[in-house]
Amino acid sequence: MKKWLFIVVSLLLVISLAACGNSKDTGSNTGSSSAEGGPKGKITFAFWGAQTEADAIKNVVADFQKQYPDVQVENQWIQSDYLTKLQMMIAGGTAPDVILVSGGDLPGFANAFQEVNPDSSKFSSPSLVESMTYQGKTYAVPFIIKPKVMAINIDLFEKHNIALPSKTEPMTMEQFDEIAKKITEGEGKTKIYGSEPLWIGNMLYSFGASHYSPDNTRSTIDSPEAIQAAEYIISTKQAGIVPNDTEKQGQSMMDWYLAGRIGMFTDFGPWYIPQMAEVKNFKWDLVPFPGNGGTKEVDGLAISKTSKNAEAAKLFVDHLTQNQQAQDIIGGNKTAYGVPVLPTATQAFEDIFEGKNLKAFVLASENQHNQEAQKRTNEISKEMKMITDLTPIGIGNQDVKVIFPKVAENINKILQQD
């Protein structure tokens, strides 16, 4: 009897010790391993965007939570002044565990991010990982792509007996100019324009120019090609084939396009896709950006250096960027606001609108130029503002041949500070 009592007491003691050893607090932000060996605990995730963008992101986060219930994700949707608020959080020691960042903004935050090593072969283009790389080190994993394409008003093309553009090959700038002039007609509040006002940031590439030298150490805004792009933009305003500064003031060019007053909308990003889902009685389609211009914004997911649950943060980043179902959610339905980074998920994106050439976005995401980025983007942006303030591209009247070299010189001085 005493022997059996000793055995029972011993077993109870073992069970009790085991229970105490497995008791862990999962409500803190400190990571730990679950019983199955995976991470658990809480992480915070910061992102920006309009309501439709936020909804898409929240949907993919919810999918992650279903598959990994041991990891709690706190969404931190920052609706305005994203970069400023993010800087304050980092400086104050409250940086989110995972941070959505664009390739254009990454250099200014790289010091706050953990270095990562994503396999570029898993993504639709090696340039996606390149966009998340600064000074030879990669600090974020590609998550979604936002290229630019051109939307066309098919009714206006048919009205003027203009052949529809190729769905895969960009038209030349000469063809664009000719079509814009044919479409433009009327005057006053009913005037129809060939295009919305053109943006120098897109058109540089259409004329073979760029913002910086290949090694990003020197501004090339003063190159002959950049000057040519600027002079063409000015000529479209002078010819009246785009709205002038007075006509466009306070107006949404997208609304004008949908109202039939714009023949070719060159600044069409994927964030307009949810809006097009509601459009009826309007014949539209998408074609490549003219002159092989435009740039693609690549947004990635970075892990903070100060994350207290880096293991769970990495699991979260890997799932959102490399899981087929997650990429289908973020880019495979009418709430999509960008192109998936996985090549196996792009078909779902292309199929969002039957009969519409969303493949133009996929081609652009593979072939278009990455955003050119620098660490001192705020200072550089102030110098670039001289272009719209002082030349006819904006509200000024000074010669672009004079102003562009001055802007390049000022930017080069900023670049030499790094």
Q: Are residues 328 and 202 in the same domain?
A: no
pLDDT band at 4 (very low <50, low <70, confident <90, very high): very low
Question: What CATH number corresponds to the domain at position 237?
Answer: 3.40.190.10
Instruction: Give 242's contacts (C-beta < 8 A, 6+ positions apart).
Output: 180, 193, 194, 195, 196, 197, 198, 236
Binning pLDDT at 50, 70 and 90, where does residue 280 land? Answer: confident
Domain identity same for 281 and 389: yes
pLDDT of residue 44: 98
Global pTM value: 0.85
What angle, 0 to 180 degrees and rounded to 10, lies between the N-to-C axes of helices 51-67 and 310-322?
A: 110
Q: Please report the pLDDT score of residue 214 as a whole number.
A: 86
Q: Is residue 28 part of a domain?
A: no
Which of 129, 47, 61, 86 has the alpha carbon at shortest distance from 316?
A: 61
Q: What are phi and psi of 14, to 5 degrees?
A: -65, -45
- Domain membership of residue 29 (yes or no) is no
Does 154 share its domain with 220? yes
The answer to whether residue 111 is domain-embedded is yes
Q: 207 lies in which domain range? A: 149-295+373-415
Mean pLDDT of 87-96: 96
Residue among 345, 374, 375 nearest 361 (CA): 345
Residues 175 and 265 in one domain: yes
Residues 329 and 339 in one domain: yes
> Residues 242, 391: one domain?
yes
Confidence (pLDDT) at 24: 35
For residues 231 and 277, membership in a common domain is answered with: yes
Looking at the fold, whether 98 and 201 belong to one and the same domain comes out as: no
Same domain assignment for residues 202 and 270: yes
Based on the fold, state whether residues 112 and 62 are members of the same structural domain: yes
Domain contains 30: no
Same domain, 124 and 238: no
Give the chain's domain count: 2
**404, 257: one domain:** yes
Identify whether 274 is part of a domain: yes
